């Protein structure tokens, strides 16, 4: 039976869910945060040690500025409000992505969240913010070149945002789309992919456990017979 060490999630459908409810896209984003909290709680319960949420991609800068500002304010205010609860529940936060490319207020808040939760050990929650997999690979190559090292699988992986993490066992994408959207392209090489029609705000712990139950029965060959 396969063990689950790392689940990566593309949380697609927040905006559409908000519109379907006769509300704004931002209403969907607000609901989506609650679902993240529920999935983290369930993952702690079933002992999944690492979660990675695709929170804001490097391509999301093309969205309307009001929506971008709302998302950043949502993230910032969440950590202001919940940082003590994160520490109390032993939840470590790590940011994957180009933090330096973010507005200063949210950049400082993200650094603070990582610093204050760095000793937490119950679960690691990665938030991919201003993240793009192609940019991550270019960054890794530049670091290797600067260190005068050879280009190799080992050296590439040592210089990526995920250098200290196991590759995802499972990728879940909600929202009905069947694409990776420049998310962890290197790390997903042997990951089991699950594409769900449900929009992210409708995703729940039963859906999570259903995916995990299926994954545990999958034969993982890694290129072997």
The residues with which 195 forms a beta bridge, in sequence order, are 173
- Looking up tokens 């650094």 gives 111
Helix (H, G, I), strand (E, B) or coil at 126: strand
**Any catalytic annotation for residue 60?**
yes
- Looking up tokens 């600067």 gives 146
Catalytic residue among 12, 14, 126, 159: 12
| Positions of E strands within 72-202 | 91-96, 123-131, 170-173, 192-195
CA dihedral angle for residue 79, residue 84, residue 85, residue 87, rounded to 10 degrees: 100
**Any catalytic annotation for residue 12?**
yes
Catalytic residue among 2, 5, 60, 135: 60
- Looking up tokens 């590439």 gives 156
Helix (H, G, I), strand (E, B) or coil at 29: helix
Tokens of 147: 């260190």
- Calpha distance 79→10 (Å, rounded): 21
Q: Give the catalytic positions in this structure.
A: 12, 60
């Amino acid at each position: 039976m396969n063990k689950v060490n790392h689940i990566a999630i593309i949380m697609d459908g927040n905006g559409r869910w908000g519109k379907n409810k006769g509300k704004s896209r931002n209403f969907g984003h607000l609901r989506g945060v609650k679902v993240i909290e529920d999935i983290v709680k369930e993952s702690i319960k079933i002992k999944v040690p690492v979660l990675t949420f695709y929170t804001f991609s490097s391509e999301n800068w093309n969205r309307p500025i009001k929506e971008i500002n709302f998302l950043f304010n949502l993230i910032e205010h969440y950590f202001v409000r919940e940082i003590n609860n994160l520490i109390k529940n032993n939840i470590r936060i790590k940011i994957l992505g180009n933090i330096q490319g973010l507005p200063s207020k949210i950049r400082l808040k993200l650094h603070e969240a990582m610093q204050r939760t760095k000793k937490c050990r119950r679960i690691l929650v990665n938030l991919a913010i201003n993240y793009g997999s192609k940019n991550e690979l270019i960054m890794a190559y530049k670091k290797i070149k600067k260190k005068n090292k050879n280009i190799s699988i080992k050296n590439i992986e040592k210089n990526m945002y995920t250098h200290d993490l196991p590759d995802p066992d499972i990728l879940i994408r909600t929202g009905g789309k069947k694409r990776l959207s420049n998310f962890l392209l290197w790390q997903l090489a042997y990951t089991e992919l699950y594409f769900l029609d449900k929009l992210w705000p409708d995703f729940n712990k039963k859906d999570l456990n259903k995916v995990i139950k299926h994954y545990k029965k999958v034969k993982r060959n890694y290129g072997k017979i």
